[in-house]
Amino acid sequence: MFRLILGLAPAIFAFGLSGFAGETIHAVAQDAAGGAQQAVPGSPVKKVLLIGIDGCRFDALRKADTPHFDRLIASGAYSPAAQILGSRYRDNDTISGPGWSSILTGVWADKHGVHDNSFRGKQYEQYPHAFVRLKEVRPMLSTASFVTWEPIASQITAGADVSRAFEAENKDYATADERCAKAVAERLATADDDCIFFYIGQVDETGHAKGFHPTVPEYIAAIERADRLVGEVLNAIDTRATRDDEDWLIIITSDHGGAGLSHSNGHDNPEILNSMLIVSGAGVRPGPLPPPVEIVDAVATAATHLGVTIDDQWGWDGKPQGLDRP
């Protein structure tokens, strides 16, 4: 079963209408003149892959056997303590609804309005998903979102040209994440998107079941499985026929950490408040990012890499991180 959301403009579709069991597809119609950005002759086309790993602690990631994450960290800029709450506003709960809203809109909860997982009070019309803002400046940019936590697709990423959600039946996020990663890899092989969001849910689900801590074997194993999926997607980028003419920026972040079996009400707990930000690509200054680093910085970094000037009227709270030559 799938749902299809259509825009009102004359349209072409970025993918066929075939769905899969347990998958929700949200397709925003793209103007017939749309498509990938046009490269300046002689310079590579800038592209972004934003990877979100729900509930992933950086200290656990460093303990796990994660060759793909390790390579991105070694060659990129990173922070082990990207804050999930801003210094201006800290009243939302430290859970996924507010966290992914902050990451994907680039503003804190006093602006986007999401304080818990009910999404009541959301103000996405005023502070939409960053894809909406990018396409206001560059209408021809092609954007896609692939997730296994369905509320991201149904609530936040409606502005993507393609938004696909893979249901985790019986909370089996490991299987859903596998299907999601395969879809991202297939998309990279067959389409020409400029900005892709790829979400992995099993690390958070394992933390809730077994514990959010580097000493929990199951939590470490979930991170290692996530690393393998990221490797599949990175390989799909590296094997693109157009790869030599592209400048990919890889950004990795999480919506929160965790302590015990939870991460709610973590306003004063560094194990929950500390997310991460990893930025890797040819135009990145390698090494630790000086604080402050915040999860709202992810989309500001993506926009800057794509050559999109951030408009003050958007009200974004983040800033670009790690870019040596945007």
> pLDDT at position 31, please?
37
Q: What is the CATH number of domain 22-32+44-314?
A: 3.40.720.10
> pLDDT at position 2, please?
31
- Give per-10-residue mean pLDDT for the chain (326 aa): 30 36 54 42 91 98 98 98 96 98 98 98 97 96 98 91 95 98 98 98 98 98 98 98 97 98 97 98 96 98 97 98 82
Give the helix/strand (H/E) hosting 112. helix 109-112
Residue 119, token pair as written in the block: 């999404």
> pLDDT at position 152, please?
97
CA atoms within 13 A on the CB side of 142: 19
Best CA proximity match to 293, nearest among 87, 108, 83: 83
Q: What is the DSSP string of 142-185?
A: -EEEEESSHHIIIIIGGGSSEEEEE--GGG-HHHHHHHHHHHHH
Question: What count of other Cβ atoms lies within 10 Å of the Cβ of residue 17?
Answer: 9
Burial class (CB in 10 A: 0-12, 13-18, 19+), 175: middle
* 197 and 184 Cβ atoms separated by less than 8 Å: no
What's the whole-model pTM score?
0.90
The gap from C-alpha 96 to its chain's centroid, in whole angstroms, comes to 12
First-last CA distance in the chain: 41
